[in-house]
Amino acid sequence: MKVIGVTRGDDGPQLLERERPSPNPGEALVRTLRVGVDGTDHEVLSGSHGGFPDGADHMVLGHEAVGVVEEPNGTGLEAGQVVAPTVRRKPDGETNEYFRRGEPDMAPDGEYTERGIVGDHGFMAEYFTSPADFLVPVPESVAEYGFLVEPLSITEKANEHAYATREPFDWRPESACVLGNGSLGLLTLWMLDQEYDRTYCVGRRDRPDPTVDIIDEIGSTYVDSRETPVDELPAVHEAMDYIYEATGFAPHAFQTVKALDQNGVGVLLGIPEPWEFEVDGGSLHNEIVLHNKCLIGTVNSHVSHFEDAVETLQELPEWLLDDLVTTVTDPEHVEAAFEDGDDQIKAVVEFDSL
C-alpha cells in the first residue's frame, strides 16, 4: 500500500510502499480517507520534534486523520463506519496508570507513543490499524472534514483545562484573544467567538491575506504584532480575560501574563525551540499573584475531547471549512501539502473517498 513517510537522514515527505497491516485482536482495520498536515508534521520532518519508532529506518507521517472501518475484526465497530483516531498509544503495548484511568494525554515523556509524531507510525497511509477504544465515530455528513476532529480536540481540552482554573469563583469573561492565525488558531477563534463578546487574533500578516479575511468574516479584530506586541494589547485594545497561544513564539508566554486582565487565564500550546532572553521575573511574579492571573500549558487530547470536537465540527459554518482548506492533494503529489506559503492555510492528503 502507499504511505507518506520520512526516512532517517531526510527532511522531506516521501511516497513509500508498505504491506497492508493486519489488525490484532481488539483492533480494527481502517481505510484512510483524508489526513491533515499541520505545524507538528513540519517539526517532525525537520527533526526538531518527535522521533522514529525504535529500530525503524522510516516513520509514516500524519496524526490528523479520518477513515472508514474496513474490517471491524470483532471490535463492535461496523464496517463502513466513519472514525477519527486519537493519537497517543501505550508504549510497547504495555499499559500504565495514565492509560488505565483514561488520561493518556496527561502522561509524561516515555509513558506513551504518538502516531506519526514520536515512536509510532502515523496515519498517512492507505490503511491503518487501531484499537477500537481509540477510534471515535464521525457522522458521514462531516466525513469530508473529519481530519479536523484532532486539531479541534486540542482546543476542546485547552479550553476545558483553562476554564477549570476559574471554577472556584464567579468568573465572567467577555474578551478572548488567539495568538496565531494558522489553521488551529482560526478554528479556535471561531469557537471562542461563539461565547465571548469580543475576540481578537494576533498575527504577522499584511493585508490582503486569506487568514486575515477569515478573521474579518468571523467578526474578530485582527492585531498585527509588528505594530502592537502582545504585552501592549491592554493599552491599544483591552486587557484580555482569556488568551490562547498557538504560535510557539517563546516571548508570548511572558507577554501573555501582561496582556491578561484581572482574574484572566492564558493557555500555552506552542512548542518553541530553546531560546534565551531577559525577563523581569519580579514583575511577572507580581502580575500573576496580585491580579489572580493564571498561565497553564496543555498538549494532546483524548477520547472525550475528540467526542466534543465531533460536535463542534458539525457546527462549523460551510464558508469557514471551504476557506480553511486551501490544498487537497493525492499521495503522488504530496509535496504540495507541505508547501508553506502565505496562501497555504490547511493542506490535506486524500487517499480515498466514501
- The annotation places the binding site at 40, 114, 150, 181-184, 204-205, 269-271, 298-300
Q: Could you tell me how far CA 316 lies from the centroid of its own chain?
A: 16
* Closest to 40 in 3D by CA, of 125, 124, 144, 138: 124
What Å distances lie between residue 81 and 27, 34, 140, 141, CA to CA?
Answer: 14, 15, 8, 12
Going by C-beta distance under 8 Å and a sequence separation of 6 or more, which residues neighbour residue 154? 184, 269, 298, 300, 301, 305
* C-alpha–C-alpha distance, residues 291 and 120, integer Å: 43
For residue 200, give the C-alpha cell.
481578537
Annotated binding site for substrate: 40, 114, 150, 300
The widest CA-to-CA distance across the chain, in whole angstroms, is 60
Annotated binding site for NADP(+): 181-184, 204-205, 269-271, 298-300
